[in-house]
Structure 1
Amino acid sequence: MQPKQKSYFLIVDLEATCSDDGSIPRQEMEIIEIGAVMLNRKTWEIDSEFQQFIQPVRHPRLTKFCTELTSISQQDVDQAPQFSEAMSRFQDWIYPLFNNHIFCSWGNYDKNQFMQDCQFHNVPYPFSSQHINIKQEFSEYLGVSKKFGMAQALNHLGMELIGTHHRGIDDARNIAIIYKYMKTQKLNKLKNF
């Protein structure tokens, strides 16, 4: 007997503290934005969205590189809640309306960053062990070994990037567009087979 299909794809994109000079090592990066959308598996439409800035504590001052890359300002994060409160808000959005979901992201970075931040802040990891790496699925869909960045994938499909690249909520919306395209094309091929 097959397990019951999940009703939603929870597509998440995170932005985190970063530097181009090594002043913030990978293991000290912290989430500064959660962008998420709930993609309905039946309609292939986004049913709900979530966006939250987070105040970093390890490196509270954003680097110039980080601000230029993400367009997230120091004021955005200074006025934001810290990680545990932000995660509480995130889970209040997910549950109970969307508890039948699969956590998805472009690559494994977002999953690993959540795990790292949850451990550092002593907050339980909020997802099941199931995770879909859409970046990997996209390469499999094309039948290539090359790994595409999200913007490259849109370009490859002849689609325009909507919003601001490296903003969590905009990237989550764009990833949802790619995933919808892949899944509906696959379904159409199966119907016409």
Structure 2
Amino acid sequence: MTTLDHVLVVDVESTCREGSPPPGEVSEIIEIGVCPLEVGSGRRGERRSVLVRPARPSVSPFCTRLTTLTQADVDGGIPFAEACALLRKEFRSDRRVWASYGDYDRRMFERQCADFGVKYPFGPRHINVKTLFALVHALPREIGMAEAVRLTGQELDGTHHRGHDDAFTIAGLLRK
């Protein structure tokens, strides 16, 4: 049964490279940013960052420039399976509607759960804030999060491309 008291806003950061990755290397989640959004009041809860230790790829210099995360940061993270269990236990992610800006985050979780045989941490209800934003504002196309923030007169809160800060910002867009 889905609980409708909060929407769990999620933003992931993943390993990335400038250009093509080495053969056999696929992108993996290295940070899960979470910000609960209280439905009744529109109040954003505390932003949370869960660092995830990748099993295969390393954090490239390009990835560090984009996210500020280093290999040492994620080496101190927890395995992906533990991160998914944490989402279920601490945020009841399997019983709440969850949201992300676009489908990338949802697809990353689906693929990585399948790759590692990990139970998917979310329930069946997902809100694509990127599509919803374009529809609500009658835009001719979907736009990036930074552009959506500018369009609404808000500012990016924290460091762009850090999961916890982006989740907090996305929660602000969703509550509007």
TM-score range, shorter chain: over 0.9
Provide the rounded CA distance (Å) in 2 between the counterparts of 1:120 and 1:100. Answer: 23
Question: % of aligned pairs identical?
Answer: 35
User: Residues 127 and 100 (structure 1 numbering): CA distance in 2 closer, same or farther, change over 3 Å?
Assistant: closer
Other-structure match for 2:132:
137
Q: 2:59 aligns with which of 56, 59, 62?
A: 62
Other-structure match for 2:32:
34
Q: CA RMSD in A?
A: 2.1
Other-structure match for 1:113:
108
Q: How high is the TM-score relative to the length of structure 2?
A: 0.92
Provide the rounded CA distance (Å) in 2 between the counterparts of 1:94 and 1:133. Answer: 19
Query: Could you list the runs of 5+ residues in structure 2 that have no partner in the other structure?
Result: none
Contact 2:16 2:63 in 1 (8 A): yes
Other-structure match for 1:82:
79
Q: How high is the TM-score relative to the length of structure 1?
A: 0.84
1:117 CA displacement: 0.9
Contact 1:50 1:93 in 2 (8 A): no
Provide the rounded CA distance (Å) in 2 between the counterparts of 1:23 and 1:145. Answer: 33
Other-structure match for 1:17:
15
User: Residues 52 and 4 (structure 1 numbering): CA distance in 2 closer, same or farther, change over 3 Å?
Assistant: closer
User: Residues 100 and 43 (structure 1 numbering): CA distance in 2 closer, same or farther, change over 3 Å?
Assistant: farther
AA at the equivalent of 2:66:
L
Which secondary structure does the structure 2 equivalent of 1:37 belong to?
strand
Alignment of 1:37-186 (within 5 A): 37-59=35-57, 61-95=58-92, 100-181=95-176
1:126 CA displacement: 1.7
Provide the rounded CA distance (Å) in 1 between the counterparts of 2:94 and 2:131. Answer: 25
Provide the rounded CA distance (Å) in 2 between the counterparts of 1:5 and 1:155. Answer: 32
1:116 CA displacement: 0.8
1:159 CA displacement: 1.1
Contact 1:163 1:170 in 2 (8 A): yes
Question: Which has more radius of gyration?
Answer: 1
Contact 1:19 1:65 in 2 (8 A): yes
AA at the equivalent of 1:68:
R
Aligned residues: 176
Which secondary structure does the structure 1 equivalent of 2:121 belong to?
coil
1:146 CA displacement: 1.6
Query: Could you list the runs of 5+ residues in structure 1 that have no partner in the other structure?
Result: 182-193
Provide the rounded CA distance (Å) in 1 between the counterparts of 2:119 and 2:49. Answer: 20
Provide the rounded CA distance (Å) in 2 between the counterparts of 1:91 and 1:6. Answer: 15
1:23 CA displacement: 1.3
1:133 CA displacement: 0.3
1:49 CA displacement: 3.5
